[in-house]
Amino acid sequence: MTAICATTPYDAEISGEPSLLKRPVKDLALALGALGAYCTSNLGYPPVHVKGPIEGGTVTIPGNVSSQYVSALLLAGPLAEKPVEVCISGRLESKSYAKMTMHMQHEFGVLVHANSDLTRFQVHGQTYRSSEVEVEGDWSSAAFLLAGGAVAGAKVNIHGLAEKSDQADRCMLDILERMKAVVSQDSASITAEKSKLEPVEVDVSDCPDLFPAICALCATAHGKSTIKGIRRLRIKESNRVQVMSEGLEHMGIQTQESEDSFTVHGGRPHNAMIDPHGDHRIAMAFGVLGLCTEAVTIVDAECVAKSYPSFWSDLQSLGAKVSAG
């Protein structure tokens, strides 16, 4: 929205709930300023004040902070007065999200040129046209139900997920298979069922949203699992590394953390009270782990509404005992 507002000649302020105000926007604000917009932030964080229009030009942004900056600039770029070139310093993490953005722009009549490793994007002035598209089912949300099927007693069958998808979190299937989970897929559905999971080593640089769900799986796999590529997870809705570590420790699961890796010593999680710090994915991850215990109490459980409002009722429909305190 910050980038879209930068395409208009009007003053706009972008703000949000407390967790959003902790997410950095400095690099995006600087890029929009370099393209000709007026854009200020609160020491690099929201609220953001922005006024356009952007004129165009070349900007360079880091590739290891947020692919959302790239998507934002690509969405706004066609509406600039002159061509826009976006250069990435270092490796672009979460590349699939940039690919999804370009694919959807193409659906609405806009063409973006990019080099093979997605470190340089070129956008010329174009006009979006109306279109009718079918939005894929969300692999990010489905990951928690697949994890639930793998760690609990019920077989979970999920419909509506694209078998061939650019969504980064589709790799949840590969991770489950590497952990020796019993999963199957056909053109209509995905099925996961209770399995004796093996520890795994996985890199989440390109699929950071899977980190909480993977932690839940690793907590029940007997042995040491290592999750790499976690650096950016400290600037999500919460510091996901810290919050997952605290919650797992409360459930009797030992963890170790370094700058870019997280180790989980799997075992038998026990009852605990968990504070997800308002993070929807953390709450869902511990909801999944609750299936392995007599009871887990999750504070502020309704925070799942950010991405999956029916999560608790869907979990209940699969046989879980869910009650509001």
Query: What is the structure's pLDDT at 153?
Result: 72
Rounded CA separation 27/169 (Å): 25
Residues constituting the chain: 325
Strands of the sheet with 182-185, listed across from one edge: 156-159, 189-193, 182-185
Rounded CA separation 37/33 (Å): 5
Secondary element (H or E) of residue 189: strand 189-193
Claim to verify: residue 152 and residue 261 sit in the same structural domain: yes
Pair 128, 110: CB distance under 8 Å:
yes
The reply to whether 138 belongs to the active site is: no
In a domain, 132, yes or no: no
Claim to verify: residue 171 and residue 313 sit in the same structural domain: yes
Claim to verify: residue 10 and residue 70 sit in the same structural domain: yes
Query: Residue 94 sits in which domain range?
Result: 2-123
Q: Hey, CA dihedral for 40, 44, 48, 54, is it positive or negative?
A: positive
Residue 57 half-sphere exposure toward CB, CA atoms < 13 A: 13
**If we measure between CA atoms, which residue out of 246, 290, 243 comes closest to residue 271?**
290
In a domain, 143, yes or no: yes
The one catalytic residue in 169, 209, 275, 279 is 209
Query: What is the structure's pLDDT at 109?
Result: 97
70 C-beta neighbours (distance < 10 Å), count = 25
Claim to verify: residue 111 and residue 176 sit in the same structural domain: no
Query: What is the structure's pLDDT at 238?
Result: 76
Domain boundary among 71, 90, 123: 123
Split into its structural domains, the chain has a count of 2
Claim to verify: residue 181 and residue 297 sit in the same structural domain: yes
Angle between helix 280-290 and 211-220 (nearest 10):
20
Rounded to whole angstroms, the maximal C-alpha distance in the chain is: 61
In a domain, 225, yes or no: yes
Claim to verify: residue 118 and residue 143 sit in the same structural domain: no
In a domain, 94, yes or no: yes
Q: Which CATH number is 256's domain given?
A: 3.65.10.10
Angle between helix 139-151 and 280-290 (nearest 10):
20
Claim to verify: residue 72 and residue 165 sit in the same structural domain: no
Query: What is the structure's pLDDT at 233?
Result: 87
Query: What is the structure's pLDDT at 187?
Result: 78
In a domain, 199, yes or no: yes
Pair 299, 39: CB distance under 8 Å:
no
Phi-psi region of 256 (alpha: psi -120 to 50; beta: other; left: phi over 0): beta
In a domain, 71, yes or no: yes
Pair 322, 302: CB distance under 8 Å:
no
pLDDT in tens, the chain (325 residues): 999 999 999 999 999 988 788 888 999 999 999 999 999 999 999 999 999 999 999 999 998 888 999 999 999 999 999 999 999 998 898 899 999 999 999 999 999 999 999 999 999 999 999 999 998 899 999 999 999 999 987 789 999 998 888 899 999 999 999 999 999 988 778 999 998 999 999 999 989 999 999 999 999 999 999 999 998 888 777 799 999 999 999 999 999 999 899 999 999 999 999 999 999 999 999 999 999 998 899 999 999 999 999 999 999 888 888 988 6
Query: What is the structure's pLDDT at 93?
Result: 85
Q: Hey, CA dihedral for 61, 208, 123, 15, is it positive or negative?
A: negative
